[in-house]
Amino acid sequence: QSVADRFGRISPDELLEEQREVYDLIKERGKVTPAEILNRFGMREGDLRQIFIVLRRLKLVKGQEIDGEICYVPYEYQGQGGE
């Protein structure tokens, strides 16, 4: 099975530990600001950006404007906001 065949079909169990922790937090809360993630895990902004890129590419999370603030939400999120 090629990487292209697997792309987008990764399970959260296959994520790196930091990626999984961020994903789990977003799934648990439904929406989280980048600042909340940085404070919770004590990571640098650049590290979070790299984690978000991976999670977004895998269609696990996305950015969403909610009440004028950018939040990270589960990819299937359909709530209120800047839509």
47 φ, ψ (degrees, to nearest 5): -65, -45
What whole-number distance in Å separates Cα of residue 68 and Cα of residue 50?
23
**Which strand (E) or helix (H) includes residue 60?**
none
Q: How many other C-beta atoms lie within 10 A of the C-beta of residue 61?
A: 23
Of 32, 19, 29, nearest to 60 by C-alpha is: 19
Q: What is the pLDDT of residues 59-75, one digit of tens each?
A: 999 999 999 999 999 99
Angle between helices 17-29 and 45-57 (to 10 degrees): 80
Reported confidence tier of residue 14, pLDDT bands at 50, 70, 90: confident
What is the pLDDT of the chain when averaged over all its residues? 86
